Every structure is written in C-alpha cells, then in structure tokens.
Amino acid sequence: MTETASSKSAGPTWIVIRNIGLLLSGDLERPILDADTVVAVDGRITSVGREKDVDTGSATTIIDARGTALSPGLIDSHVHPVAGDWTPRQNQLGWIDSYLHGGITTMISAGEVHTPGRPKDVVGLKAMAIFAQRTFSAFRPGGVRIHAGAPVIEHGMVEEDFKELAAATIHTGGPSIPGSSLIDKDIVLAADADVIGHINGGHTALPDDQIVSLCESSSRALEIVHNGNERAGLLTLRTAKELKQLDRVILGTDSPAGSGVQPLGILRMIAMLSSLGDLPAEIVICFATGNSAKIRKLDCGLIATGRPATFVMLDKAQHSAGKTMLDSIQRGDLPGIGMVIIDGVVSTQRSRNTPPATMVPEVVTR
C-alpha cells in the first residue's frame, strides 16, 4: 500500500500524455474532446489539444497512451469507510487500494456507519465525523482522495450541530443496516438534501411511483448505487432521461456493505446503465466524473485547464466483441484499465482487477 502518491516528488513536475486515442472530458455537454495530448504541471492540467498545438517542451514524464482512452478519474459518490484502508464490514485490508484498480480516484463518504461501537450520542457522533474527516484528509491510500466525516444523524441533534458539521446526503429506501429505518419520498422531499442518496435503494427500493415522483418533484441529484435495486436504478435513469435531466444522475457503490467490497462497482454501473439503459458510454461515464464533481462541488472530474491531473486510462478488454472501447461498454462489457494517474503522478499501471486492457499506456521517460 502506498501513501500519498503526490508527496513522493520534489520540485516541479511536467507530465505529457501523448497519443491519446479517445479523450473523454467528463462534461455531459461535450463528452468527447477533439484532442490527443494532455499536459500537466505540478499536478494541474495546463493544456489539452493536438500534440502539434500544445507546448510539450519541458516534460519530466512522458506517457505514450498508445491509442487508449483517457478519462477523468472516477468518483465513487457513496462509500462507507471506517479508518485507514480497513473495512470491518467485510474484515478486509486494502479495499481502497483495490478500488483504485477499478479507476476510483475520489470517494465520498456517506457516513462511517460501520465503525465498531459507533457512538450514538450527539457529542460522540460529531467527534467521530470530525475524526474521519481529519484522518482521511491526511491519509490517501494509493493517492485516492476520500472526503469523509458525514455525520450519522441521530435524534437529539439540533441546528447548531449541523452548523458545526457540513450536512451530507440522506439515504432513501429500506434499511441498509439493521436499526436504520425506512425513509420514504415525503421525508426526502421535506429534507431537500443536495443529493437523493441511493434512490434505487440500499437493497430494497421505494415503490416505482415514489421514485418517479422524487425525480419529477425534486431538482436534487439522483444517486444510483451498485448495491441497490438494479431495476429501480434503470427506472431512475429512464425518468431522468425523459425529463432531460441527465445532469442530475451520479453514481456510487454504497460499499463496503453486506454485499461486499466492489473494486469494479462503478465500472459495472457504467456498463449496466449504458447497455441496459441504452445510453452512449461516453454519457454514462460523465455521471461518475463531471456530474458527481459538480454536485459535490469538487474540482476534479473534468478534463480542462486548471483541473487536477487525475486520470484513468482505459481500453477495450481483450477478447471483447465490441468494435471500440465505447462500443464494448455499450454491449455490457467492462473496459480494462491500463494506468491511473492522480495529481500528475502515476499511481498504478495495468489494473490487477479489471479484465486485461487490449493496449496499455507506457511511461516513456521519467
């Protein structure tokens, strides 16, 4: 396990990624960019364009993408971390590092609910949320950035408590952990939280009419999770599409959970929603990049000047029937990851978890 990939280097770094076959922007308005080269200095993108048009002169690291695709690093909008790279839910070490091998570079905690002996009193739960925020901001397994410290709301909390803590998402659907209770559409609409957390349920979903009504009556983000009801996830997607509000759709795994640790959960959601939801893969990839970043107010998730140089490089999996990587995803296949770069630093090369990518990028000079 490596800690803080970005702290390894000293002095300015200048990274050039050339020969990119497909540049995915993360922006729903313009998901594919006409460019083959990305340049970043000290972890921030400085130019995106055709190689002949950009200044690649002072590169300290040159990466030949070898015709593969480059996308913003994926954001898992709904995780339940506890402490460091350990989850007690499935008693597993190194789960965050495993998600990195699924292209995840940013995680949003929906509450550290699996903490053994989790305090239920107001002082205790606030202390726990602050502890999680502080520890995860100082510890980044494999370079993955974890935004933690979502308070687990209990009776007895008052307005002042929420002012101290930034209130995060609210869960919908049936209980996802024993002791949590059903939250129906009326409660969700009254709370009017920024994100309608796992609208497709944490195992059990709301009735279809309530899901459609939430999509129609609220303007908030629609979070579809891997560990929810897949049919309800597709219903949400179709409703958002009919409303012409795909910019509200974001993706999370809602893991670790009873159904496991899912390093490829976001890639599986992308393939499922693109294939069964009949949407171009480049659009669905925006749900897990630019959409999440915009709704969570993060500066990652987009390929544009000034944004973090945080990328996942992908190609069609070996032996996929798809003609191209996007076509393979639209057929329901997972792509292969060849490299992950976080804040301008190569964090992993060929993924140990995805199917093998047909082509993988190569570090030419460093």
Tokens for 365, please give them. 């000079």
How far apart are alpha carbons 132 and 111 in whole angstroms?
Answer: 9
Q: Which is nearer to Zn ion, 176 or 353 (CB)?
A: 176
Instruction: Give the interface segment with Zn ion, choosing from 1-9, 30-38, 110-118, 314-322 (CB under 5 A).
Output: 110-118
Q: Does 110 bind Zn ion (CB under 5 A)?
A: yes
Q: Which is nearer to Zn ion, 110 or 325 (CB)?
A: 110
How far apart are alpha carbons 98 and 356 in whole angstroms?
Answer: 15
Backbone angles phi and psi of 35, in degrees to 5: -155, 155
Q: Which is nearer to Zn ion, 95 or 311 (CB)?
A: 95
Instruction: Give the interface segment with Zn ion, choosing from 43-51, 104-112, 278-286, 353-361 (CB under 5 A).
Output: 104-112
Q: Does 340 bind Zn ion (CB under 5 A)?
A: no
For the bound state, the minimum distance from the C-beta of residue 196 to Zn ion, rounded and expressed in Å, comes to 13
Instruction: Give the interface segment with Zn ion, choosing from 58-66, 102-110, 158-166, 290-298 (CB under 5 A).
Output: 102-110
- Give the contact letters, 252-291, x = binds to Zn ion (CB under 5 A), - = no: --x-------------------------------------
Beta bridge partners of 196: 170, 222
Q: 256: which residues sit within 8 A by CB, 6+ positions away?
A: 79, 80, 87, 89, 90, 92, 95, 114
For the bound state, the minimum distance from the C-beta of residue 103 to Zn ion, rounded and expressed in Å, comes to 20
- Give the contact letters, 177-216, x = binds to Zn ion (CB under 5 A), - = no: ----------------------------------------
What SS3 state is found at 339? strand
How far apart are alpha carbons 124 and 152 in whole angstroms?
Answer: 11
- Cα dihedral: 249, 253, 255, 258 (round 10): 110
Q: Which is nearer to Zn ion, 74 or 334 (CB)?
A: 74
Q: Which is nearer to Zn ion, 257 or 317 (CB)?
A: 257
How far apart are alpha carbons 57 and 38 in whole angstroms?
Answer: 13
Residues that bind Zn ion (CB under 5 A): 110, 254
